[in-house]
């Protein structure tokens, strides 16, 4: 288990697998869903539920990104 801090100073536990996926993102990058494996997409969606990552549909494609402060 790892602890991440989301906006507002809230600390949130995440699994080691989720932490590995989170390491793919820096504060300005965004990754398309096609750049992730099926398992990584599942973990990214779990991080979206926990408000650590954000998902958006842009131009017909799904992208994940991490906002500053996470």
CA separation for the pair 44, 23 (Å, rounded): 11
Question: Is residue 64 pLDDT above 90, yes or no?
Answer: yes
Over residues 1-11, the mean pLDDT reads 88
Residue 28 lies in a domain: yes
Domain count for the chain: 1
Query: pLDDT-derived band of residue 32, with 50, 70 and 90 as boundaries?
Result: very high
CA trace torsion 62, 22, 39, 58 (10° rounding): 0
DSSP 8-class letter at 12: E
Residue 11 lies in a domain: yes
What was the pLDDT predicted at 49? 95
Boundaries of domain holding 32: 2-65
Residue 60 lies in a domain: yes
Residue 70 lies in a domain: no
């Amino acid at each position: 288990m790892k602890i991440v801090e989301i906006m507002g100073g809230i600390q949130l536990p995440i699994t080691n697998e989720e932490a590995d996926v989170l390491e793919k993102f820096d504060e300005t990058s965004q990754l398309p869903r096609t750049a992730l494996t099926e398992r990584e997409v599942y973990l990214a969606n779990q991080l979206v539920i926990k408000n650590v990552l954000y998902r958006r549909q842009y131009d017909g494609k799904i992208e994940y990104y991490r906002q500053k402060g996470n």
